[in-house]
A and B are shown apart, each in its own frame.
Chain A
Amino acid sequence: MTTLDTAASQPDTMEAVARVENLSITFRRGALNIQAVRGVSLEVRRGEILGLVGESGSGKSVLGMSLLGLLPGEPAPVTSGAVTVCGKDMLNGSAGLRRAVRRQHLGAVFQDPMTSLNPTMRVGRQVIEAAGSEDEAVRLLRAVGIPDATRRMASFPHELSGGLRQRVMIAMAIAGRPALVIADEPTTALDVMVQAQVLALLRSLRDEIGCSFLMITHDLGVAAQIADRIAVLYAGRIAELGPTATVLHAAAHPYSAALTRSRLSLSSERGRPLVTLPGEVPDPAGPPPGCPFEPRCALARDECSVTMPEPVEVAPGHLSACILPPGEVAAAFAPAPPASRITTLDEAAADVPAAPAGRPASAAAAEPAVAARVQDVAKTFRVKSGRRRVGLQALRGVSLQVAEGESVAIVGESGSGKSTMLRVIAGLERADRGGITLGRGAGPQMVFQDAGASLTPWLTVGALIGERLRHAHLGAAQRGERVEEALAHVGLPAHVARARATQLSGGQRQRVALARATVVPPEVLLCDEPTSALDVSLAAVVLNLVARLRRELGMAVLFVTHDLSVARVVADRIAVMYLGRIVELGPAEQVVASPQHPYTKALVRAVPDLGVTPAALPGEPASPLDPPPGCAFNPRCPVAEPACADPDFLPRLIKLRGEQDRTVACIRAEVN
């Protein structure tokens, strides 16, 4: 019905369902003017998926909210330009008009499906609000692949898994066949396997319903999977806009090229420091007068700092906001990155993230000294499920040994027990069974995912770091010196010691967290997803930093991550966990290159990458409340045998034939 309406009244919107013209949005925060969007023009065509890619602070979410007619802020931001959806003014239109457009023509999916659904309302009612009737709501839930949809209508959001919650969000977004769905980082909070499922769902929905998607993401790999065209946003401006393949493989703007290059993938080089983008996004309260990327650009010229380049067409349908000819940019980034601009050669030698060759020579000869040994550790939490108290089996017999100076990555989905394992080693949780043996050095230290939240907001950085020196009986001056030293180690100037965490950027906070952990170098540094909340370019910087600290301070590192490409570059060995057990353990490169366990294989295939269509295992991860008998992976395993589900079968880690240091827990390995 809506399609007919718009087609009849607005023939010119047949081509574009949404149009943004020279849009500027400025938020007033006290005396500051935060220029979130600065003169952006783009259109979303009917039936296309437009990827909107940018780092945090690029203005991509603000742009999405302006299309929804829901710009936040009190006082309201100052805007200029135009935003139209289906021919209706979403910028200056009345509240009632914008609401009607949202109701009839728009849908939205947001990042965190836990907080984006009303926790006290049954999901059925929430879908009905958008769908209009109960029958339609059930139909939508089925359409987005929710099993047993009729029963799920009565569930509360907390009773669903993350993947199912996001499917509910998508069901609400496509209710009423909208012309355009704004999807703001819809997979960022999800595990890699669920992410692949959701991306596949969005693709198929576009084909079935024919609606357009604006796919807002910080991850080029995600955009590459699904977008027809990509718009790269930088500091509130369009840097580049063009067909997906062109932007990814023949970028005309140095920023898009650098972003593609600094992206971690399963084929990133391990033997050298990760390519990083130096510097940080410009301050939105006072962006430079010239090209906003100029301070970080390897190819910048003098005039770049003077005039702001407008996006111009470099090829049909391909815009770039750079004064350099596209050929020159492509040439500069094509063979090898201009390494000298990124790190000096000396740093390069010291910055190698994973340095298997750099292991002490003695390590190869004799049994290496142990930094941490975990023996058959089990941990069950008592939680409430419905009316009963049940056991959540986080760890179900895990053994792992980390040698001095070694780096081991633990990879797994949420619920695999990987974070519990770190917390048990750190002594934050007590194991029910099994033993933890730590080396003789200083106790372990932890670095957390959310660096902002793990720093006490009212203490200065100096006080936070100095806290760990309490037992060293140092004078104030000496203590200050040690703090300064630790800050210098992580690349922060001494004056940061007087700042508070809230005054620092995300990257700086993660550096402070590292400085706090290493001011007294620990025997083992425990990292719990320290980079998953950071932008691509910052993540690479932090990974390089962890690697350098590890070498300089001689620490072992135990690194928990859900991202295999991170694990691969940061670790000597990878341990893959599923439902509280290690299913595969071996040298990082080999585990990724030739995975042996069916679960590891599925994980590797699900990693989104440029030019690869990831394959996701169907179904939901099994629940640690009720692990399947036998091999816990058997219900999802594509090659499972009846014997795998035998309750008496306990998969043990077995050495792979012909390989010294690779083990896998699979019935097939036992048979062979």
Chain B
Amino acid sequence: MIQLIAKRLAAAAVIVLALTAVMFFLQKISPVDPVHAMLGPSASPAAIVAEQKRLGLDRPFLAQYGSYLNGLLHGNLGMSYRTRRPVSTDLGSFLPATAELSVYALIFALILAVILALGSTLRWPGSSVFRLLLIAGASAPAFLLGIVGILIFYSKLGWLPATGRTSVLNPPTGPTGFLTIDGLLHGEPSVTFDAFRHLLMPALAVAAIPAVSIGRVLRSSLIGQMRADYVRTARAKGLTERQVVLGHVLRNSVNAALSMTGLQVGLMFSGVVVIEEIFGWPGIGQYMAQSIPAADFPAISGVTLLLGAGYVAVNTIVDILQAIADPRINA
């Protein structure tokens, strides 16, 4: 198991390295000249040359990549053309909001997927409703769910807030950046509750489609596994149907669903960007939305690298979880 984890981590590192190479190459061929962007159109030629020297842009290509990598290792993602601050500082203030939204969306997606899959597979009166949800759910895009949610739960019912992360004026800061957790750590459960109310709608909107996709895969695995011989053995032992499903069938069914989760996380990131716009969520999505029109390449590449690394990390975890779930993978 340790060997497998080491192997997966090494593979993940290689992928992230390849991603940095791609980002660096794109930066080099992009039409935006960083020096012009930094100094503005009225800079003197001498100042431009001096700035190029200062940034090391006169050095060979590989050496530049080397120092770029070295910078990355030290958390240096370059200066944003637009905000004139280090990209890492910008991300530091926008990332926690997005990370919190994404983590909750993923948790909601997994819980919903298991409920949908079990609810539609087990024999009970409501199973056809769950089957319908699995079919219809995939045809509701996240932005539509977000808007409909705002119309119903904010405008009509007034149950949930529609914008921002919190209505608390001075929310506690750190250590995790997750308001729901920091609230508890600072002994302010009201902050946690408020933050949770704020993220409920956007997280569910992001989670809906992944939940349906994962749920469908899990459902088909469950149905297949319920016919397996070992289920017959478990029943012959006199186990209850609940013991059979939760104790035997579920673990044998999660593998394909885990693969699907890994894929869906990539899609979820793009869902988050849209949803943040709709809910006025102060996260990376908004930062991106402002950076792209400004051709702020360091900001764009910083965000891309971060999301890419997050995607690789999630899929590495998926691989490891699959090996834990099925001992034959490791063998």
**A: which residues have CB within 8 A of B?**
68, 70, 95, 99-104, 106-108, 110, 112, 115-121, 129-130, 156, 158-159, 169, 172, 175, 182, 384-387
Contacts and interface: CB of A to CB of B under 8 A. Distances in A.
A410 to B, nearest CB: 29
Contact of B236 (A104, A108, A158, A387): A108
Nearest to B3: A387
Contact of B251 (A115, A120, A387): A120
A102 B234 contact: no
B236 A68 contact: yes
Given A104-B238, A120-B325, A120-B326, A386 B233 contact: no
A115 B228 CA distance: 7
Given A102-B237, A103-B238, A118 B252 contact: yes
A120 B233 contact: no
A169 B230 CA distance: 10
B74 interface: no
Contacts of A118: 230, 233-234, 248, 252
B237 A386 contact: no
Interface in B1-46: 3
B19 to A, nearest CB: 30
Contacts, number: 81
15 contacts: A70-B232, A70-B235, A103-B237, A108-B232, A108-B237, A110-B233, A116-B232, A118-B233, A119-B328, A121-B247, A121-B251, A130-B238, A169-B233, A384-B331, A385-B331
Contacts of B241: 95
Contacts of A110: 229, 232-233
Nearest to B227: A72
B148 interface: no
Contacts of B237: 102-103, 108, 129-130, 172, 175
Query: Which 7 A-B pairs rank lowest in CB-CB distance, beginning with the nearest?
Result: A103-B238, A108-B236, A102-B238, A115-B229, A118-B230, A116-B229, A130-B237
A302 B137 CA distance: 64
A169 B237 CA distance: 11
Given A118-B248, A120-B325, 7 more contacts: A106-B236, A118-B234, A119-B327, A121-B251, A158-B331, A175-B237, A386-B331
B240 interface: yes
A70 B251 CA distance: 23
Contacts of B229: 110, 112, 115-116
B236 A120 contact: no
Contact of B233 (A101, A103, A108): A108
A115 B236 contact: no
A100 to B, nearest CB: 7
Contacts of B50: none
Given A120-B251, A120-B327, A386-B331, A115 B230 contact: yes
Contact of A116 (B233, B247, B327): B233
Given A118-B252, A120-B252, A129-B239, A156 B233 contact: no
B95 to A, nearest CB: 37
Contacts of B238: 99-104, 106, 130
Contacts of A120: 251-252, 325-328
Contact of A107 (B236, B243, B247): B236
Contacts of A172: 233, 237
Contacts of B251: 120-121
A99 B240 contact: yes
Nearest to B237: A130
Contacts of B247: 121, 129
Interface residues of B, number: 24
A382 to B, nearest CB: 14
A102 B230 contact: no
A98 to B, nearest CB: 9
Interface string B201-240: 0000000000000000000000000001110111111111
B133 to A, nearest CB: 22
Given A158-B331, A386-B331, A117 B235 contact: no
Interface string B240-282: 1101000110011000000000000000000000000000000
A347 to B, nearest CB: 41
Contacts of B235: 68, 70, 99, 102
A103 B243 CA distance: 13
B243 to A, nearest CB: 8
Nearest to B230: A118
A180 to B, nearest CB: 12
B252 A119 contact: yes
A497 B180 CA distance: 69
A636 B181 CA distance: 64
A595 to B, nearest CB: 36
B315 to A, nearest CB: 21
A200 to B, nearest CB: 23
A129 B240 contact: no
Contacts of A115: 228-230
A169 B248 CA distance: 16
A104 B237 CA distance: 9
Contacts of A103: 237-238
A486 B49 CA distance: 85
A121 B328 contact: no
A99 to B, nearest CB: 5
A68 B236 CA distance: 7
A95 B235 CA distance: 11
Contact of A70 (B236, B327, B328): B236
A156 B328 contact: yes
B183 to A, nearest CB: 39
Contacts of B252: 118-120
Nearest to B249: A118
B121 to A, nearest CB: 12
B227 to A, nearest CB: 9
A428 B212 CA distance: 43
Contacts of B228: 115
Which of B228, B230, B236 is most buried by chain A, counting CB atoms within 10 A of its CB?
A: B236
Contacts of B326: 119-120
Contacts of A387: 3
A118 B239 CA distance: 14
A141 B240 CA distance: 24
B245 to A, nearest CB: 12
A112 B233 CA distance: 11
Contacts of A130: 237-238
B326 to A, nearest CB: 5
Interface string B293-307: 000000000000000
Contacts of A104: 238
A108 B231 CA distance: 12
Given A115-B228, A118-B252, A119-B252, A159 B331 contact: yes
Interface in B314-331: 325-328, 331
A570 B230 CA distance: 37
Nearest to B327: A156
A68 B238 CA distance: 9
Contacts of A102: 235-238
Contacts of A95: 241
B115 to A, nearest CB: 22
A296 to B, nearest CB: 32
Contact of B230 (A119, A156, A175, A385): A119
A158 B252 CA distance: 14
Nearest to B250: A120
A158 B234 contact: no
A432 B161 CA distance: 70
Contacts of A386: 331
